[in-house]
Chains A and B, each alone.
Chain A
C-alpha cells in the first residue's frame, strides 16, 4: 500500500504485498486532504478537507473554476508534493501524469520518449522497442516512432504523451487539462481515443487489471463527455461542492442531448460557485 501522510512527506514506497492493487477496493483514496501554501500566519488555504475515492477502473473528472486547486490536488496524488493534512493512497504504485503541455523531451524521438519511460520502469532493453511500437499503435501513431516532437502536430504530441504515460503501466492515470490547448475538432477526436483506450483497458482483454482515470478540467462538457463521475470543486479554498454520477452510456458524443442537459445543470452550479466570490 502506497501512502503519503504527514509523517512521511513525499516518500512513496512501492514494493509491498498488494502493490499490484488487484485486491484493493480503490485506485486512489484521497482522505480528508488539506493543503496550504505560505508561511504560518499568512497562509493560503488551497484545498480544504477533500475526500475522493477513485474505484478501480473508474473515470472521475474534477471540475472547477480557477483557484479551486485542481492542479494542486493532482500534484499531491502524483506524489510531486505532500498534503498539509490528511493522506493519499495509490495502491497501484506511482500514478502516471499527463499535463496540458505535452512535456515530451525534444531531444528524443517520439518512440524514444516512450522508451525512456519504459526504461525507467525497468523494462529490459530488448523489449522496449516492441513495447513502444505497440503503445504508438494504441494511440494510432504507427509510423511516428522516428519523428521528432517538433515534427508532430499538437494533437499527435498529446497522443505520444498519452502513450508515454501509459508506458508507466500504472493503474491510475492523472490528467491535468490535457486537451485544453487543442482545437475543438482535435479535442473531440482525443476524447474518443481516451474513452476507447480506457474502455479497452477495462474490458478484461487487455489483461493489465484495469485503468482508472482522474481527469482535471474546467470544461463542463468535456467532463460530462468523459467521466463516470463528475466532482465539482468550489474555489478558494477548494472544497467538494457537489458530485454527479454520469450514467449516459459510452461512447458519448460531446453534442449528445443528454451530455448537454447534464452540462447545463452542472454549469449552473459552477456559475453559482463563481458568483459567491464576487459578493464580498
Chain B
C-alpha cells in the first residue's frame, strides 16, 4: 500500500515529537478530526460520489427506439413491392403487400380473425404457464442437487436442441388429434428451456452472495427464498423469455399438423388452410400474424419486466 511507504519517512522525521501533543487537539468536537468535521467530510464525499442519472423525456426515448425498426420495415415492404412490380414471380405466387393486407382485412370483416388469434394465444399462455409450474422446481432441483444434475442435467440441455416438432408424431400416437397433443408438444418444447434458464441463473450467482447470506443466517430453505431465488432472477427471466419463444414455436408446429374440425382454429390451422387453398395472400397474412403475436408478447410482457429487474440492480448498461 502506497500510504505505508510514503508515510514511513514523515513518521520517522517526526519521531521525537511527543505522542500526547498530537492527539488531544484532534479529539475536540467540531475541530479538525472531531465528529462534526467528520460528518461534514463524509457528506461531501457522498455528494461527490453520487452519480446523477438523467433520463430523457419518454417521447424522445420512444422516438429514438421506434424510428429505426419502422424504417427497416418500410424498407422491406418497399423491396417486396418492387419485386411484385417487376414480377419476379407470378402474382399468384408472390402477392403484393396490399394483397396481403386485403386478405387480413377480409378475415377481420368476417369477424373471425380475433378468434383465431385468441385461440392460439390462450393455448400458448396456458402451455407456457404449465411449463413454468413444471420447469421451475425442476430447474431448482437440477441446479442444487448434485446427483440429479449429473443424471439429467445433460439430457435437459440436450432436449433444448431437439426441435419440438419432432414430438408431434409421437404425441399424435399417444393422444390422437386433440388438445392434449398440442399441450404435450408445447410442454416438451418449453419446460427444458425454462429449467435450463433457472439452472444458468443459479450457476451465475456470485458465491459472495451465498456466503453473505449464510453469515446473516440465511441457510437452507430460508437461503433459497431470500438469497438464491432473487439472485438467480435475471437468468430465470431470460429462461422464461426463451421458454415463451419455445412455447409459441412448438404451438405453431403442433397446430399446423394437428388439424381437426372439433379443435378450435388457431393461427397454425389458419396457415394450413391457406396452404390447402393455395392462397398465398392468406398464407402470408397468417405468417405475419404469427410473427406479430410472438414479437408483441415478448415486447409487451417480457421486455418491460426484464428491463425493470435489470435496471433496479444497476445491470442495464446505458448506451
B14 touches A120 (CB 8 A): no
Closest chain-B Cβ to A154's Cβ sits at a distance in Å of: 7
Closest chain-A Cβ to B13's Cβ sits at a distance in Å of: 9
> Is B72 an interface residue when CB atoms closer than 8 A count as contact?
no
Beyond known contacts A140-B42, A150-B314, A196-B38: 17 more, CB 8 A cutoff:
A99-B208, A103-B211, A105-B213, A106-B315, A107-B233, A117-B216, A141-B46, A167-B216, A189-B41, A219-B3, A221-B4, A251-B33, A253-B22, A257-B22, A260-B7, A261-B12, A263-B4
With the chains together, A193 CA to B35 CA distance in Å? Answer: 9
Interface residues on A, range: 35 or more
CB 8 Å contact bits of A238-268 with B (1 = contact, 0 = none): 0000000000110111111111110110010
- In the complex, the chain B residue whose C-beta lies closest to that of A270 is B4
Q: Which residues of B contact A101 (CB under 8 A)?
A: 208
> Is A192 an interface residue when CB atoms closer than 8 A count as contact?
yes
With A153-B49, A156-B46, A253-B26 as contacts: A105 and B209 at CB distance below 8 Å: yes
Closest chain-A Cβ to B53's Cβ sits at a distance in Å of: 8
Q: Which residues of B contact A164 (CB under 8 A)?
A: 216
B215 touches A78 (CB 8 A): yes
Partner of A221, one of B3, B42, B51: B3
Q: List 29 A-B contacts (CB under 8 A).
A: A78-B215, A80-B211, A99-B208, A103-B208, A103-B211, A104-B212, A105-B227, A107-B309, A120-B218, A120-B226, A148-B312, A152-B50, A153-B46, A155-B49, A156-B46, A184-B3, A189-B45, A196-B38, A221-B7, A222-B1, A253-B22, A256-B19, A257-B11, A257-B19, A259-B11, A260-B8, A260-B12, A260-B14, A261-B15
> Is A151 an interface residue when CB atoms closer than 8 A count as contact?
yes
Interface residues of B in 1-30 (CB under 8 A from A): 1, 3-4, 7-8, 10-12, 14-15, 17, 19-20, 22-23, 26-27
> Is B61 an interface residue when CB atoms closer than 8 A count as contact?
no
CB 8 Å contact bits of A182-211 with B (1 = contact, 0 = none): 001110010011001000000000000000
A148 touches B314 (CB 8 A): yes
Q: Which residues of A contact B309 (CB under 8 A)?
A: 107
Q: Which residues of B contact A151 (CB under 8 A)?
A: 50-51, 314
Q: Which residues of B contact A222 (CB under 8 A)?
A: 1
Q: Which residues of B contact A132 (CB under 8 A)?
A: none
Number of residue pairs across A and B with beta carbons under 8 Å? 149
Q: Which residues of B contact A252 (CB under 8 A)?
A: 23
> Quick one: which of B4, B14, B50, B315 has the most chain A CB within 10 A?
B4
Q: Which residues of B contact A260 (CB under 8 A)?
A: 7-8, 10-12, 14-15
> Is B68 an interface residue when CB atoms closer than 8 A count as contact?
no
With the chains together, A257 CA to B17 CA distance in Å? Answer: 7
> Is A136 an interface residue when CB atoms closer than 8 A count as contact?
no
> Is A94 an interface residue when CB atoms closer than 8 A count as contact?
yes
Partner of B1, one of A97, A221, A257: A221
Interface residues of B in 34-50 (CB under 8 A from A): 35, 38-39, 41-43, 45-46, 49-50
> Is B141 an interface residue when CB atoms closer than 8 A count as contact?
no
> Is B146 an interface residue when CB atoms closer than 8 A count as contact?
no
With the chains together, A257 CA to B23 CA distance in Å? Answer: 10
Question: Interface residue count for B (Cβ, 8 Å)?
Answer: 50
- In the complex, the chain B residue whose C-beta lies closest to that of A141 is B46
A186 touches B45 (CB 8 A): yes
Q: Which residues of A contact B50 (CB under 8 A)?
A: 151-153
Partner of A121, one of B41, B46, B217: B217
> Is B222 an interface residue when CB atoms closer than 8 A count as contact?
yes
Q: Which residues of B contact A192 (CB under 8 A)?
A: 33, 38
> Quick one: which of A97, A105, A117, A167 has the most chain B CB within 10 A?
A105
Closest chain-A Cβ to B312's Cβ sits at a distance in Å of: 6
> Is A116 an interface residue when CB atoms closer than 8 A count as contact?
yes
- In the complex, the chain A residue whose C-beta lies closest to that of B16 is A257
> Is A88 an interface residue when CB atoms closer than 8 A count as contact?
no
B7 touches A107 (CB 8 A): no
Q: Which residues of B contact A256 (CB under 8 A)?
A: 19, 22-23
B19 touches A153 (CB 8 A): no
With A80-B215, A96-B215, A249-B23 as contacts: A257 and B15 at CB distance below 8 Å: yes
> Is A5 an interface residue when CB atoms closer than 8 A count as contact?
no
B38 touches A107 (CB 8 A): no
- Nearest 5 A/B pairs, CB to CB: A260-B11, A150-B314, A153-B49, A103-B212, A258-B19
Interface residues of A in 89-113 (CB under 8 A from B): 94, 96-97, 99, 101, 103-108
CB 8 Å contact bits of A157-200 with B (1 = contact, 0 = none): 00000001001100000000000000011100100110010000
With the chains together, A94 CA to B50 CA distance in Å? Answer: 34
With the chains together, A96 CA to B314 CA distance in Å? Answer: 27
